[in-house]
Amino acid sequence: MKLLLILLVLMLLVWLLFGSSRRRGLGTRRDGSAAPAPGPAAEHMVACAHCGVHLPASLALWYEGRSYCSVAHRDAGPTSS
């Protein structure tokens, strides 16, 4: 009977140890809530040479080394401020 009790306690300890490591691997926290999902990577921002609005570099229109937010601002050219 004593051996059975020791065996049950050992099985419980093993279950607790492996259960907690499995939860960490699945992205859950100790309180059971899910870990936050990683957000999108940061992107370099540039300012429009005409109006000054900031936009991601991948969306900017480039002309003569300057960035613009739209075709109309590209055609209007940079402001002289």
The pLDDT score that the predictor gives to residue 31 is 65
Verify that 1 and 31 share a domain, yes or no: yes
0.85 surpassed by pTM: no
Query: In total, how many domains does the chain have?
Result: 2
Return phi, psi of residue 35, to 5°.
Answer: -70, 145
- Dist. CA 8–CA 24, nearest whole Å: 25
The pLDDT score that the predictor gives to residue 37 is 75
Q: Is 48 helix (H, G, I), strand (E, B) or coil?
A: coil
Range of the domain at 68: 45-76
CB-CB neighbours of 63 under 10 Å: 15
Model confidence pLDDT, tens digit, residues 19-36: 765 555 555 556 666 667
In the DSSP assignment, the letter for residue 37 is: P
Instruction: Kindly give the parts of the chain with pLDDT less than 50.
Output: none
On whether residue 15 sits in a domain, the answer given is yes
On whether residue 81 sits in a domain, the answer given is no
